[in-house]
Structure 1
Amino acid sequence: MDTDVVVVGAGLAGLQSARRLERLGLRVTVLEAGDAVGGRVRTDRVDGFLCDRGFQVLNPSYPAVRDWIDVPSLALQTFGVGVVVRTGETRTTLAHPLRHPQHALGTVLSDLTPVSDLVALARWLGPTLLHARAAFRSTPDLPLRESFDQVGLTGRLRRDVLDTFLAGVLADSTGSTSAGFVRLLMRSFALAAPGLPREGMQAMPEQMAAWLSEPVRLSTPARELRETSDGVAVSTDQGTLRARAAVVAVGPQDVASLVDVPAPVTHGLTTWWFRTPEVPRASPFIVLDASRPGGGPAGPVWNTAVVSEAALSYAPPGEHLVQATTLLDRPDGRASEADVLRDLARIYGTSTARWEVLVHHVVEHTLPAQPPPLRDRRPRWTGDRVLVAGDHQATGSIQGALLSGDRAGHAVASRLRP
């Protein structure tokens, strides 16, 4: 045998699986098709700017992040806990009253937060805020849109704020995601301020890879994986690796090419990254547009942020970085640069004539679909010695990826023990 376990894929799930297997005393070889670790958690460096592949944030309240990531060493730079909502020509800041007391009165008195909606939101989210397991006990779990309807959350807080914000977080504008899963996400946002590592989101998987005893084999895609009489054989362009077991932790778009499981359904988005000489809005909050009659964005941009206002390291001195996200399940999800800049000029109320695009990321498989019911899923065995892990085998989040990888490590180690 060349090693005890081959882990295919150096995203968050694969790296956490490898780390757990090593801690349990097994030899591990990690193969990664890309030129760096991270999977979907990657950062491009462009002219001194940091541009993550798809706008994403790290939430330190996730249990898996607290337990397995050295968050202090990442030097997290946090966004505001709240949003700025543009309705017509008005921009309203809605913020966590305890974290941003200067916005508390404006948040409570806003037309966007009628008392009836706040009461309905408390009814919908309250039990999960107190106990995370309550999200799994919702009977029955419903699609998000039906769950909001059920508690009477039907006013402007939903139409102009929650629907738009959550669509961007989930890459799903249809409201079909499990309400139980969304409750868990909302709980995490309430418990901590999300942020960005000083060196970009890719710093997290790079930290995890550095903890492994053997370097990840980059630019080494697994071409074929098959079970043998005494383990597995993994074919690569450099030869065949033989091991006692394998963890397949590739992205949702690639898993079916290696093992006999259906390709997971996914949601996608695009992120535009612009450099600007002037700051369009001095605010650490994500900006939503609710200018369409009946609620929601009037253009292709579902959320935007002056990222460098929250994360100074993401832009060189004297310049500013703006992200704009569009959703691929919308007709205008592949809007042109000109259309996106026109929409941003309207949202920020400023000229974008001097803005320059740094990079445009089209992330077809941002997150696995998470329809109801919410279940506490486990990594999937596809044979005696092959286990599939990833957020598509848990929940579509950093928490889900890390937890699935850790469970895979434990499961494989248990099977290999004499």
Structure 2
Amino acid sequence: MPSDKFDVLVIGAGLAGLRCARVLAAAGRDVQVWEAADEVGGRIRTRAIDGFLCDRGFQVLNPAYPELKRAIDISDLRLQPFGAGVAVRRQSGSAVWVHPLREPARVPSMLAHGGVRPAGVLALLRWSLPALRPRALKSSQRQDRSLREGLDRQGVRGELRRVIDQFLAGVVLDDTGATSNAFALLLARVFLLGVPALPSDGMRSLPRQLAAPLGDRIVLQRSALHVESDADGWQVHSPDGVVHATHVVVATDPAAAAALTDVATPPAHGVVTDWWATDQMPPGPAMLWIDSRTDKPGPVINTAVISAAAPTYAPRGHHLIAATALLAPTATPPPEDATRQHAADILGADGRSWTLLTRDVIPEALPAQLPPLRVRQSVRLAAGLWCCGDHRDTASIQGALVSGRRTGEAILRSPARI
């Protein structure tokens, strides 16, 4: 087959595009992947800076995602888990709220001294009960509402509500409560079943493992400018010329996908993440920290001593801290000194000696997942033209992987004309 003609051309080497290409390559189909950047991964990147590993934005990997086990060898990532639960900065002092299924012996102490009241636990259980039936959550669009309404209806209030709001805001990148309640419950189910962790070589390990079997089918630093149909399928224009393909899969971010196709761009949430190095280990557990105070002194939504949970992220004798703040559309990112001071206050540390390694300002970090929840949008745009990504399923690693697999399987069911 000439090098300018392919059975399938995948545009974008993020998780969805790589997963799609892997499905097709495993079935023996002729597939090539174009990636405009200089490495695979899309939004999932890791930079090595002075011996530290800094992911692009604060990211964690939950091994309980069902599709993860189908797509990759999780053991090969050598995961380093965070502590099971969250650490909470309170009005006075701090507390550890443990994962009830993994640390049941510590639950009585948490109820007695951690600011969690039995009535609040019952309200939270009422809210989370539908997570036991994930299929029903995915199919009950008419019953879905906003997360804010869902928690209000079940009477989740007070400090417990503030912690739940802050924790989920750090996952969905929205603190308004507008996210789909059904989607939040699906996320809660995953966090109940698994403990977030980081790969030994950074989050980049995930797309790199997906890409490895594809070899020279992946072409880096090649972008698509325009896609149009022709008699044999599709023409894809790039700065290097025109190629032909029976099937074209647009697996880019939503904005780039909209530029190449007529797919609508969903609203998105932004995030700012700062990464600091220090020689002084902050006190406290190796957990994600949340500020539950009613008068928070800064913009940080969560923070963590990354190297306490994942020692490979920092050189021996040094420590890595990350803090995340939300970024509303058209908003100005908070000053670095504001996030540093707030993160240090949450951790009970002195942040004056912290050295900024890098700052990630990502205006469109995650598609908004508004009610009613739609976990499956069509990946077929026209005969031979496809679109996949977390904006076509759910806004998560799980959604990106599922979308890529669905697209690959749909192409395999389509007639090949080359």
TM normalised by structure 2 equals 0.95
In 1, Cα distance between equivalents of 2:283 and 2:399: 34
2:43 aligns to what? 40
Q: Is the 8 A contact 1:93 1:106 kept in 2?
A: no
Q: Is the 8 A contact 2:159 2:292 kept in 1?
A: no
Q: Deviations over 1:37-67 (max 9, x none)?
A: 0000111110000000010111111111011
**Aligned equivalent of 1:156, options 141, 156, 159:** 159
In 2, Cα distance between equivalents of 1:27 and 1:281: 54
Query: RMSD between aligned alpha carbons?
Result: 1.7
1:20 aligns to what? 23
1:393 aligns to what? 392
Deviation at 1:167, TM superposition (A): 0.7
In 1, Cα distance between equivalents of 2:17 and 2:386: 11
Q: Deviations over 1:203-223 (max 9, x none)?
A: 110000002153411111111
Q: Deviations over 1:215-267 (max 9, x none)?
A: 41111111111111111111122222211111000012211111112212111
1:82 aligns to what? 85
Aligned ranges for residues 182-201 of structure 1 at < 5 Å? 182-201=184-203
Deviation at 1:101, TM superposition (A): 4.8
Partner-residue secondary structure (3-state), 1:335: coil
**Larger deviation: 116-125 or 98-107?**
98-107
Q: Quickly say closer, same or farther: Cα 1:234–1:374, change in 2 above 3 A.
A: same
Q: Quickly say closer, same or farther: Cα 1:331–1:368, change in 2 above 3 A.
A: closer
In 1, Cα distance between equivalents of 2:188 and 2:401: 19
Aligned ranges for residues 374-385 of structure 1 at < 5 Å? 374-385=373-384
1:412 aligns to what? 411
Residue 25 of structure 2 corresponds to residue 11 of structure 1: no
Q: Quickly say closer, same or farther: Cα 1:110–1:281, change in 2 above 3 A.
A: same
Aligned ranges for residues 13-412 of structure 1 at < 5 Å? 13-101=16-104, 103-110=106-113, 112-128=115-131, 130-138=132-140, 139-159=142-162, 161-293=163-295, 297-329=296-328, 334-412=333-411
**One-letter amino acid matched to 2:389:** G
Q: Is the 8 A contact 2:181 2:371 kept in 1?
A: yes
In 1, Cα distance between equivalents of 2:174 and 2:89: 21
Q: Quickly say closer, same or farther: Cα 1:374–1:16, change in 2 above 3 A.
A: same
In 2, Cα distance between equivalents of 1:242 and 1:264: 29
**One-letter amino acid matched to 1:292:** T
Q: Deviations over 1:314-342 (max 9, x none)?
A: 00000000000000029986111221222
**One-letter amino acid matched to 1:356:** T
In 2, Cα distance between equivalents of 1:118 and 1:108: 9
Query: Taking every aligned residue pair, what percent have the same amino acid on both sides?
Result: 43
**One-letter amino acid matched to 1:247:** V
**How many equivalent residue pairs?**
413
Q: Is the 8 A contact 1:31 1:216 kept in 2?
A: yes
**One-letter amino acid matched to 1:390:** G
Q: Is the 8 A contact 1:300 1:332 kept in 2?
A: no
Q: Is the 8 A contact 1:266 1:368 kept in 2?
A: yes
**One-letter amino acid matched to 2:23:** R
**One-letter amino acid matched to 1:375:** R
In 2, Cα distance between equivalents of 1:366 and 1:64: 21
Q: Quickly say closer, same or farther: Cα 1:187–1:344, change in 2 above 3 A.
A: same
Partner-residue secondary structure (3-state), 1:109: helix
In 1, Cα distance between equivalents of 2:166 and 2:364: 20
Partner-residue secondary structure (3-state), 1:189: helix
Runs of at least 5 residues in structure 2 that lack an aligned partner in the other structure: none
Q: Is the 8 A contact 2:45 2:55 kept in 1?
A: yes
Deviation at 1:417, TM superposition (A): 4.3
**One-letter amino acid matched to 2:65:** Y
Q: Is the 8 A contact 2:31 2:217 kept in 1?
A: no
**One-letter amino acid matched to 1:119:** L
In 2, Cα distance between equivalents of 1:33 and 1:115: 53
In 1, Cα distance between equivalents of 2:405 and 2:206: 16
Runs of at least 5 residues in structure 1 that lack an aligned partner in the other structure: none
In 2, Cα distance between equivalents of 1:96 and 1:332: 35
Q: Quickly say closer, same or farther: Cα 1:332–1:242, change in 2 above 3 A.
A: closer
In 2, Cα distance between equivalents of 1:252 and 1:402: 16
